[in-house]
Amino acid sequence: MWKKIFLKISKELIPKCDYCDGVIKPDIVFFGESVHDFEIALNWVKDADLLFVVGTSLKVYPASLLPQYTKGDIVIVNKGDISLEYLNNYIYFDEDIDNFFIKLDKKLFLEGKNDWRKN
């Protein structure tokens, strides 16, 4: 199924669904669109002991406001400038996301000794 969708997206200027004629787009929020399930996300953030904020400059409202509602610590991973004006309890890594998580994986799994994926 995904191959069919991939071919459709790569061939059509504005790909449309064969069943409903709706525009096929990624599951993201574009500028100007309303945020789906924002209240659910807000509740998750409020309950978080540790919040990872990944791949965002924290400059686009309303999602940029979410991290300020956590009582937990915040880990921010983003390459480039970010807005930190509302945050206090954070650590920021100005790093490529893939590189960061590869390093974290190696550190946490002690190079495979505790790797749950091998069990």
Within 10 angstroms of residue 34's Cβ, the number of other Cβ atoms is: 7
pLDDT digit string (tens) for 50-102? 999 999 899 888 888 899 999 999 999 999 988 888 888 899 999 999 999 98
pTM value is 0.67
Domain ranges within the chain, ordered by starting residue: 2-113
From residue 67, give the alpha-carbon distance in Å to each of 54, 77, 86. 11, 13, 8
Q: Which two tokens stand for residue 111?
A: 């190079």
Residues in Cβ contact with 23 at an 8 Å cutoff, skipping those fewer than 6 apart: 14, 15, 16, 17
Break the chain down into helix, strand, coil percent, rounded to 5: 35, 15, 50
Q: Which CATH number fits domain 2-113: 3.30.70.3280, 3.40.190.10, 3.40.50.10470, 3.40.50.1220?
A: 3.40.50.1220
